[in-house]
Amino acid sequence: MSGVPRAAVPVAVLHERVLTWFDAQKRALPWRDGRTDAWGVLVSEVMLQQTPVVRVEPVWRAWMERWPTPAALAAEAPGEVVRAWGRLGYPRRALRLREAAVAVVRDHGGRVPDTEDALRGLPGVGAYTAAAVAAFAHGRRTVVVDTNVRRVLARAVQGRAQAAPALTAAETRVAAATVPADAATSVRWNVAVMELGAVLCRARGPRCAQCPLVDVCAWVAAGSPADDGPPRRGQAWHGTDRQIRGALVQVLRETSRSVPREHLVGRALESARLDPARHREQTDRCLAGLVEDGLVEPVRGGRFRLPA
């Protein structure tokens, strides 16, 4: 295929090595138990975006017990959905998931659609999530490309320490070229290579000695060279808008009543351990952004609450 770098090892060998490793070493995750329906898979994929499995699993279990179907979530108040999201981060995902549930009920008879095109039509569902749900819930042959998949293929096939900062067309072609033709095997491959990236072929501290590809990996064969791309800065947290937004939402999660602005801002800054003199203007701006995003609702008397 034009534009696809030649792998150091036949793709069939990659398949055999990774699938054998996965069958023996895969983590027992509840959304992979064979009993979870497409709704449970969709919920897991949305929750897992930029969030580790260890934080997602207890929230996913509680969520599925409370809202086991799209119809159940669609009937819930947005504020309760944000409250149940807890500390997973990026709480807009909670609202978008509820909006997706509404669309599933309204447009698909309450059943999560089984094609990538239809899935991409749901609020908050992008190319990756659509491919993942089509594959893992419906057994479709798709190209599932997340950060973990990109890193494994960058190392094993292309000999690079890290994938590009953003998904490129070349990376997508490489990923597509490695997906088995058989639908059932392609589903196993997609989840297996993702698992390999999450467990062994990690961004920092890769466990190469335990990797089934160690003797055929192009990156290892090249001497495991350092990343030659642009410097990757770690994500700051303290004093960022993201921290302050999270603190504001958490104050409202902890009560069923509306909260006066001064109390809300004061509690948020106190919990974030930020100086009110330095961060008050920033906090006011973050609160306005939360209102605009639909995550916080103003009510009479200068008070705020989670959306009703």
Catalytic residues: 45
Contact 214, 149 (CB under 8 A): no
- Token code pair at residue 192: 């297996």
Q: How do beta strands 259-260 and 297-299 pair?
A: unpaired
CA distance 113 to 258: 38
CB atoms within 10 A of CB 44: 24
In order of 154, 165, 210, the CA distances from 159 in angstroms are: 6, 16, 18
CA distance 162 to 256: 45
